[in-house]
Amino acid sequence: MPRARVLIRPKAGILDPQGQAVERALPQLGFTGAANVHVGRLIELDVEDIAEVAGMCERLLANPLIEEYEVIELASASAGEPSA
């Protein structure tokens, strides 16, 4: 059974308060040179049909008005690397 990895991020131009908080905190912790920080979500799921994942994202996993998503198919449920 294939595994799908879904990366969900705020769309460009959408306010990202978590990303802004992380961006402000990094220099205070001694890490410089980070900019345009965005915080998103990672969802992994085993599916019978990888083609259904986009529909899952549109209807439940992501908010298509303010978020964009990327679906990565992994080789199998036991693998952790993208398939070739």
Model's pTM, two decimal places? Answer: 0.78
For domain 3-74, say whether CATH 3.40.50.300 is its number. Answer: no
Domain extents for the chain? Answer: 3-74
Residue 22 is predicted with a pLDDT of 97
9-44 pLDDT, tens digit each: 999 999 999 999 999 999 999 999 999 999 999 999
Name, in order, each residue with C-beta under 8 angstroms of 75's C-beta and a sequence gap of 6 or more.
Answer: 2, 3, 81, 82, 83
Residue 75 is predicted with a pLDDT of 79
